[in-house]
Amino acid sequence: MGKTRIAVLVSGGGTNLQALIDAQNSGVLKSGEIVLVLSNNSIAYALARAENAGIEALCITKKECGSQEAFEEAMLAALKERDIDLIVLAGFMSILSGHFVKQYENRIINVHPSLIPSFCGKGFYGLKVHEAALEYGVKVTGATVHFVNEVPDGGRIIMQKAVPVLPDDTPKSLQKRVMERAEWIILPEAAELVSSLIMQDKELKS
């Protein structure tokens, strides 16, 4: 039985993508295989990471497509062409429409740099999440991997990992700790968990 075919959607440096590639190489991610890295930013370093790992790298931009609808249709066509079973959003800076999400129901996962339901939803991304956590004065933060639905950060939670907030933290130092101690650990673990469930599902249907 073939592995779950994974596409990773990225917009930037691709540190979470690297964690997934490393997990695949070390055997943490064994039920799934990353077969495509798709970016909406032509200068994303994540594309180079994919090429270095021998994974197909593809760029589709909204600007080229002319509209969100055309952009999503182009992405869906690329994903269907490659028989993608699971989509992992790893720092993908474009909100997907309800129409897109419905095509891959319970097949899209995302990592968010806080313990949902704290500091999540519209407008909370990247450093903004950590700025909000520090402003609020929380002593514990972390990361969450969740299924994606039409509500930003609103899907069912798969995994969470807590990380301490230190008295002298800056948004950048907190971001780094959350990545290293939470995101890079639970994203590959969640990808493996969901991949194994998809594989079982495929076996039942075949």
Q: Is 112 labeled as catalytic in the residue annotation?
A: yes
CB atoms < 10 A from the CB of 80, how many?
A: 11
State the DSSP code for 166: P
Q: What are phi and psi of 147, to 5 degrees?
A: -70, 150
Please give the Cα distance from 43 to 11 (Å, whole number). Answer: 9
Measured over the CA atoms of residue 140, residue 96, residue 201 and residue 196, the dihedral's sign is negative
Question: Which residue among 99, 112, 130, 146 is the active-site one?
Answer: 112
What single string gives the DSSP state of each residue in 60-90? --HHHHSSHHHHHHHHHHHHHHTT--EEEES
What is the set of active-site residues? 112
